[in-house]
Structure 1
């Protein structure tokens, strides 16, 4: 299939995007700016932004809409913050109301709903991707948050911290009483899964199934079907090895852990994830699309339990941070900031992909 690519706008280190009901967009820039983008590509900075802890992998992260956005105007944002103004950092999630008075976007009623516990020194593996369970999912209307291991490894298996977990909370930040680790301690009440590493993509399929991918250490990236209460094995098992070269036992050596449906060696550097359900690319309905930071490609996967697999890789030549589906079924891509680009570089493109018109 021939694809047409249209560059709509340029950004400085963008991280995530979401669509508003009128077809316009919100795009996050990692340094701390939320940007409103009109359907024509005109950009306006959203006012009243809060401070983020920018640096390394930290900064402003994901943005999604409340399922009832048309009525309540709520959006949800993830970010890295420092409570002491220094090197100790952690991921957090806020809810805010998006005002559009006189066409000027601004945040109002900003409320912090969740944060990692504890905050740690370092600037890596925040994860903080967000997804709402759709109406046909088991936990319809609940908010799921990927909470990275902060490059600390062992905490992913521990119940007294929220590092290396998938979190499930209500839209107001309260904790559901039926979360699977409720009996394992106060912090564990929020856990949905444990034993995760650095999850930069999470999405629900049309049948309500939850999927997430995570970066492996030196290779061994994973795509996982997410099951309540399961342990995904990090750092006890992995299909990759430590960066030092020290091997890690593979998943097949420890069947008590949930093994990935798809694994990549060499690494693709998965970032961003959408499960396509539009009409513009009918042959792709139900397939997942993953951005490749290392692969510099869009990776397409079929999602069929243990039969899931990569089926195509579309070379891009640049690091891809995010892939999203537009209201009309087009696929949208956010490039990552180029390596070595200066701090004010606007070299990361927002691109709309559509089927190319056949020449007559």
Structure 2
């Protein structure tokens, strides 16, 4: 009888996991593209436009994964000089860029990239800040460098966001050490970090004073966050992260919170094997939404203003896998709908709302594409 009971429980666990992996209770069918807009390429021929932000004069700074930082004005691309050496391997390269919220007063620009500086072979994610003068980066300051270096080519992250209190958030993926880094607060990787804008660690960070902890870490149990943005209504920092085969997640980032990877997940491994039978566990935060199958999300932006009345208040997420922009419709913190935008536009790496109120997409092989409502 005991053997039968154990077998029954095992079968039940397998079936429960199978259902979670294939059918989501909160699944929302995605609606087709309405196409009530046109697309305009405003900066062409950028291989992998990873991140973008705007200078006060309306011109753009765009990172290209291979290590080039472009200044784009009126469609003309100029390469910025004195960009730090980038460790380009796999998913690593020149990653995100963000201007300080008070850029007009202090001139600071923040950049994440994969760097080979420090111990060990290979590279890991680094955060710097710098100023732009006469087409060159100057006053470069190192704010954070993840350790150790590794020659693995996956899961560097990385996005940058500022909250309403001036704190700087940035993400680093688990670097392929998914069974070790995300759940260990003494190791870099699989985390979202919070710093003061000068790189110093806030005294109220959750792991300050804990033996051996990475005190810059703000959350952990994250797999590979490549989208992060401040909710303009609540001020909360939202992030999405790549799952394995299925199980991409949207999370609202909270202090000291464990988001579960790889202990809980809605995905399976790429070879079809089981990573975990659990999708929830006490002390671990479940996502507010997850995708099965994976859309391979990259880039995230909230829509505000009056340029796109039907999109205002909702969330935009790029899909590398399915090559469209997804409108994630929200009711408070709940996902209530999904819609395709820019179907078949290409591998969509980043999405941002510009200071002019228009939505811009970074599309691999195309460049920067503007969405113009009809």
TM-score scaled by structure 2?
0.86
Match of 1:339 in 2: none
Higher strand share: 1
Match of 1:322 in 2: 350
CA shift at 1:290, angstroms? 0.6
CA shift at 1:284, angstroms? 1.6
SS of residue paired to 2:86? coil
CA shift at 1:309, angstroms? 4.1
CA shift at 1:89, angstroms? 1.0
Match of 1:230 in 2: 257
SS of residue paired to 2:136? strand
Give the alignment of 1:135-146 within 5 angstroms. Answer: 140-146=165-171
Say whether residues 1:259 and 2:294 are aligned partners: no
CA shift at 1:256, angstroms? 2.7
Structure 2 CA distance, aligned partners of 1:49 and 1:23? 22
Structure 1 CA distance, aligned partners of 2:81 and 2:215? 35
Structure 2 CA distance, aligned partners of 1:190 and 1:305? 29
Unmatched 5+ residue regions in structure 1?
135-139, 337-346
Decide whether aligned partners of structure 1 residues 306 and 286 sit closer, same or farther in structure 2, where only a CA change above 3 A counts.
closer
Match of 1:34 in 2: 69
Structure 1 CA distance, aligned partners of 2:154 and 2:79? 26
Match of 1:288 in 2: 315
Structure 2 CA distance, aligned partners of 1:65 and 1:164? 24
SS of residue paired to 2:96? strand
SS of residue paired to 2:310? helix
Structure with larger Rg: 2
Select 2:185's aligned residue among 152, 159, 169: 159
Say whether residues 1:97 and 2:131 are aligned partners: yes
Kindly provide the CA deviation profile for residues 96-144 of structure 1, in whole angstroms up to 9, marking residues without a partner as x: 0111x3xxx211101110011222231110002101112xxxxx10100
Structure 2 CA distance, aligned partners of 1:27 and 1:87? 28
Select 2:239's aligned residue among 207, 212, 219: 212
Structure 2 CA distance, aligned partners of 1:147 and 1:310? 29
Decide whether aligned partners of structure 1 residues 58 and 355 sit closer, same or farther in structure 2, where only a CA change above 3 A counts.
same
Decide whether aligned partners of structure 1 residues 259 and 47 sit closer, same or farther in structure 2, where only a CA change above 3 A counts.
same
Give the alignment of 1:1-360 within 5 angstroms. Answer: 2-10=36-44, 11-38=46-73, 40-83=74-117, 87-99=121-133, 101=134, 105-134=135-164, 140-153=165-178, 154-206=180-232, 207-249=234-276, 252-304=279-331, 307-314=334-341, 315-336=343-364, 347-356=365-374
SS of residue paired to 1:274? strand
Contact kept, 8 Å, 2:71 with 2:77, in 1: the verdict is yes
Kindly provide the CA deviation profile for residues 222-249 of structure 1, in whole angstroms up to 9, marking residues without a partner as x: 0111111110000111100112322233
Structure 1 CA distance, aligned partners of 2:166 and 2:213? 22
Structure 2 CA distance, aligned partners of 1:313 and 1:322? 16
Unmatched 5+ residue regions in structure 2?
1-33
Structure 1 CA distance, aligned partners of 2:345 and 2:163? 33
Structure 2 CA distance, aligned partners of 1:115 and 1:329? 34
CA shift at 1:95, angstroms? 0.5
Contact kept, 8 Å, 1:36 with 1:43, in 2: the verdict is yes
Contact kept, 8 Å, 2:121 with 2:149, in 1: the verdict is no
CA RMSD of aligned residues (A): 1.7
SS of residue paired to 2:215? helix
Structure 1 CA distance, aligned partners of 2:128 and 2:71? 18
Kindly provide the CA deviation profile for residues 148-175 of structure 1, in whole angstroms up to 9, marking residues without a partner as x: 1001112100021121011001111100
Structure 1 CA distance, aligned partners of 2:216 and 2:296? 27
Q: Which structure carries more relative contact order (alpha carbon 8 Å, separation 6+)?
A: 2
Structure 2 CA distance, aligned partners of 1:88 and 1:260? 32
Structure 2 CA distance, aligned partners of 1:286 and 1:21? 25
